[in-house]
Structure formats: C-alpha cells, structure tokens
Structure 1
Amino acid sequence: MSHPSQPRKTPQSPKTSRSGQSGPSAKRGRGVLIGAGVATAAVLLGLASYSATKPADRDDTPAAVATGSSAAPDAAGPHSDGAYPELEKLARRTEGDPLAQGRPDAPVVLVEYADFKCGYCGKFARDTEPELVKKYVEKGVLRIEWRNFPIFGEESEAVARAAWAAGRQGEFWGFHQAAYAEGAKEKGYGKDRLTALAKEAGVKDLDRFTADADGAQARAAVKKDQEEAYRLGATSTPSFLVNGRPISGAQPDEVFHRAIDAAADRAGKSGAKQK
C-alpha cells in the first residue's frame, strides 16, 4: 500500500521576485532556464506526485510513472531505471556537509526535499530512513542529502532555519530526529519549542543557535534548497531523487530499496566500463 505525499500549499502572501512575478509560480517559471532534460524530468516528478495520491488499486508506484509509456517526451535520455542525468548532477557530494550523511563518494545519492511540518515526511523519517541508513548508508552504498523545502508558511520556514542552525554545531540529524519524533509536529515549532528541540538534539551553544537561525546565512541556505525544489517542479513533500530518479511521497520501503539497488547496479557497471 502506497502512502500519499503531503500536498503543497501556496503561501498566502508570496514575495515578489526580481522578475516581477510573485511567489512559487515565479520560482517554478525560472525552471525553464535549467535545460530541456531537467524540464522533462520535472514533468515526471509532477507525475510521480500525482501517482502517489491515486487509488491503491492502480499501478501508482513511482517506478511505473518514471518508466511508463505515458511519461513525458524523453528529451533528457533517461537511464533504464528512470533516472535523469541532469537530475543526477544535483547531488552536491560536499565533504563535511552537516545536512548529509554517508560517504561523499557513495555510488548512490538520495536527495530528499522535505518540510518538518509534513506528516508524511515524518513517516519517512521514522519508518523508512533508519532502515536505509542501516542497510545502505553504513555499508557505503548510499549518501542521503537533505534539502529544506518549507511549504507550510512561516513556521515551516522557522524550523527549517533552526535545523540548519543545529547543523552549524554538528547536530542537524539529532534535531531532525527530535523534530520528526511521534507527536512533535502537533506541539508546533514556535521559538521556545525550537530551542527545546535544539537542546534535546545536543546543541551546546543555544545562544549561537538562536542567532544562527535568525541570521541571513540561514535564510539564504533555506531559500537555495527551496528554489531548487521549485525549479524541479516539486509539488509535494516529501520528494526524492535517487541518482536522478524522481520518487514522490512516503512510499513503501521496497520502492526505495529497488531504486537504490538499481542505481547502485548502474553505477557499478559504469565504473567497470571506465576501468
């Protein structure tokens, strides 16, 4: 049984972009500049988002969407596993990235676009991600890179910045676990609550944490991730890329296992050819 993704809500008071367009539509509009390959894959990401909310009696797995005959025109030349080369390049693989776990040179990178207020993101964090870490990350096969994609208003933005600030002290994943704990979302993410979560995560300097979370660097970092997701045409959280293959929603574990195994197999074959 698949689990639908969290639908994106349009902000009530979108900010105006430099181009004069407003809010998310302006950000998505800039996606035309990133090339035909990504634009085509963005359509697939939207289809995957749609498929995750279809009735369970239909073939609604992301694999079926990404590789099906009804997919968008194949401008990017996707691999046989439904992955797009242009999307694969979005893996940053930055050494020491506090919002990532796993080796920078791991053969597979899972990029997650998520909101801490998203219930299905929490489900993935509690039910699926720990197994992926144990089965793939700890064995050097997988790297997980987090992207803040706040879509539910000011509180979403605030907790995204707080998570980034916790990462400045090496405690992003501890904050991530605390913020996604069962019942955490229902308590809200007000200022005092964010400080409590940081303390629970092991953040040592809470004054620095507060200053970092309110600073310009945090806002810029969150905006960068958010706009990357909009350029891809992401319409819901969580949304994922597995070596450039779009997956949307807190799908069953086996969906991620198949995607990671296929990506690892392709990466292995590619490496063998280069030797």
Structure 2
Amino acid sequence: MSSTTSGRGRTRGTVVAAAVLVAVVILGLASLTATPGGSPSAPVATPSASASSANGSAGTQMPPELERALLALARRVVDDGSAMGRVDAPVVLIEYADFQCPYCGKFARDTKPQLMKYVEDGTLRIEWRNFPIFGEESTAAARAGYAAAQQGRFWEFYNVAFSKERTRNSGAFAPDKLEKMAREAGVPDLDRFRADMKSKAAQDSIDRDSEEGYGIGVTSTPTFLVNTQPILGAQPFEAFEAAIEKARLTAGKPRVTSSPEVTGK
C-alpha cells in the first residue's frame, strides 16, 4: 500500500459527524498494512487480521449514524462511466485509488478479476474514486480516466493503465502516453478525450472524489469500502470475499434514483 505525502486538510461534507470514527477504523487497519513507497510484493495483513481490524477487535457495534453515512457514500448513478455492476446491487465496493500506485495495480491485475463473478451475478457494484496523491502524473492519469469514462471506456483504460507496474513520475503518464493508452483502450474520439482531460468538469470530479476520501479519513491508496467495512491495501481475494459475503447477508434494500438496468463497461 502507498501513502500520501501531503497533509492537506479537506472538507468533511455530509459525513462530518462520522469522519473521526471511520478515521479511527481505517487508521487502525493502516497500521497493519502500510508500507510507504514499498513494492506491491511487500507483505500485507492476512484476511483474518483485516476483518478483525475493520469490524473492531472487541466486537464493537458500529454506531447507526456512522453506518448510514458510509452506506450513503455509494452513488448508484446509472450512467456513471467509472462504475460497474447493477445500481441496485446489495453490496458496493468503493475504491479510492491512484493510477501510479503499485498496490492499486496489484489489486487490478490479481484481485478484481476474481471479483467479477459477484458483479456478474448482481451481488456487487464497483465504484471508482480518483485519489491522486503522487503528483502531476497522478492527476493527469486521473483526468485521462475521467475522459475515458465520458466515452464509456473507463474500465478498458483502467485495464491498460494497470496492465503493468510503471515507474512513478517517470513520464509513463505523460500526455502522449495517456493518449496511447486511450487509443489502446478503444476510446473512439481522441479529440474529445483531449478536451475532456483539460476540462473543468474533470478537475471538479477529481476534487469531489478526493474530498470524499479525505472526509472519511482516507490517507493512502488503495483504500476500499465494502458497504461499511474498510479494507486497505492489496489484500488477497479472500479478504474481499469475506467482506462481500458478510455485507450481502446484512444489506438492506438500497435506495436508487434510477432504473437498475445499467452495468459498467
């Protein structure tokens, strides 16, 4: 898992009352997994340790107001180009990530493909959040992901960007390289892609995602939220499987504002 180098404060938004509590949960788990600047092959916590930390080692009950605030983070927007799965899926996995983060790449290559069975059977929805923390190339890559999403090719871009580990801030996400990735991902209109990358809407979207993450205490990438359970780092599939199965059993009927027929691309 990779950590931020910035201590910038962020507004808490609608989850202000829950921010301190969830930060305690997340930071407690971070102590098990954080290896700043390490390689994705570095040891991470076991699934049992992760589950224990996320749920409280003493079996403490999550306050209802915190649970409601965390569940409300799932956007469930039908035309969200950077989400996949049914909008009425009982379980939502939110990923706060940076395209330059090696652990995010490890999750993308090793774990996400195994989670697709839950997406395909309607159990799981995955929602991406841009959380660029490693400088200009991270922000540029986030803008490119946003631009690809405008043409329904976000997940193809995600797969290309994470297809291999790239040296951080080495030019791997320079503008010409991002255009090449977009072309490989099948983005049909590259002129529009360039314009969307430079748009205020792109920056506004990134800012919204980052504000949300900082507001609940996210300080490193990748950070995941499976309904109300946080998971940090490139945990093995079993950690996500356990969290999804638990969330499925306890999930209520989700509130959606649109028809639940769209899946991500």
Q: TM-score range by the shorter chain?
A: 0.7 to 0.9
Provide closer, same or farther for how the CA distance between residues 170 and 144 of structure 1 changes in structure 2, counting only shifts above 3 A: same
Q: 1:242 to 1:176 in 2, by over 3 A?
A: same
Distance 2:139 2:18 in 1: 30
Residue 2 of structure 2 is matched in structure 1 by: 6
TM-score (norm 1): 0.82
> Does 2:27 match 1:46?
yes
Contact persistence 2:93–2:224 (CA under 8 A): yes
1:65 to 40, 48, 53: 53
Cα separation, 2, equivalents of 1:140 and 1:58? 27
Pick closer, same or farther for the CA change 1:164–1:56 going to 2, 3 Å: closer
**1:56, distance to aligned residue in structure 2 (A):** 6.5
* Separation in structure 2 between the aligned mates of residue 101 and residue 33 of structure 1, nearest angstrom: 24
Q: Which residue of 2 aligns with 1:145?
A: 127
| CA deviation after TM superposition for structure 1 residue 26, in Å | 2.1
Q: Does 1:76 align with 2:63?
A: yes
Amino acid in structure 1 at the alignment position of 2:17:
A
Alignment of structure 1 residues 106-255 onto 2, 5 Å: 106-133=89-116, 135-184=117-166, 188-255=172-239
Equivalent residues of 2:32, 2:44 under 8 A apart: no
Specify the structure having the higher radius of gyration (Cα).
Answer: 1
5+ residue gaps, structure 2: 36-42, 254-265
Q: Tell me whether 56-65 or 175-184 shows the greater mean CA deviation.
A: 56-65
Matched residues in 2 for 1:213 and 1:57: separation?
36
**Cα distance per residue 1:145-178 (max 9 Å; x no partner):** 0000000011100000000001101100110000
How far off its partner does 1:38 sit? 3.6
1:36 is matched with 17
Cα distance in 1 for residues equivalent to 2:18 and 2:123: 26
After superposition, give the CA deviation of every residue in 1:233-270 in whole Å (9 maximum; x if it has no partner): 11110001101211111101100000000001112xx4
- Give ranges in structure 1 of 5+ residues lacking alignment: 11-23
Indicate conservation of the 8 Å contact 1:52/1:61, yes or no.
no
RMSD of equivalent CA atoms: 2.4
Aligned partner of residue 84 in structure 1, secondary structure: helix
Instruction: Kindly state the Cα deviation for residue 53 of structure 1 after the two structures are TM-superposed.
Output: 3.3
Alignment deviations for residues 60-115 of structure 1 (CA, whole Å, 9 cap, x no partner)? 722111223469x867248xxxx833111100000121000000000100000000
The letter for the 2-side match of 1:34 is V
- Equivalent pairs, count: 244
In 1, the alpha carbon distance for the partners of 2:51 and 2:45 equals 16
| Partner AA of 2:247 in structure 1 | A
Candidates 51, 68, 74, aligned match of 1:85: 68
The offset of 1:127, in angstroms, is 0.3
* Alpha carbons 1:38, 1:86 under 8 Å: kept: no
Check conservation: 1:84, 1:245, Cα contact below 8 A. no
Task: Give the letter for the 2:103 counterpart.
Answer: Y
User: Alpha-carbon deviation of 1:182?
Assistant: 1.4
Distance in 2, Cα, partners of 1:179 & 1:185: 12
Fraction of identical pairs, as percent: 46
Give the aligned residue type for 1:210: R
**Counterpart AA for 2:199:** G
Q: SS of 2:9's equivalent?
A: helix
CA deviations 1:119-142 (Å, max 9, x no partner) are 000000000001101x20001000
The alignment partner of 2:196 has SS state of: helix
Structure 1 residue 184 displacement after superposition: 4.5
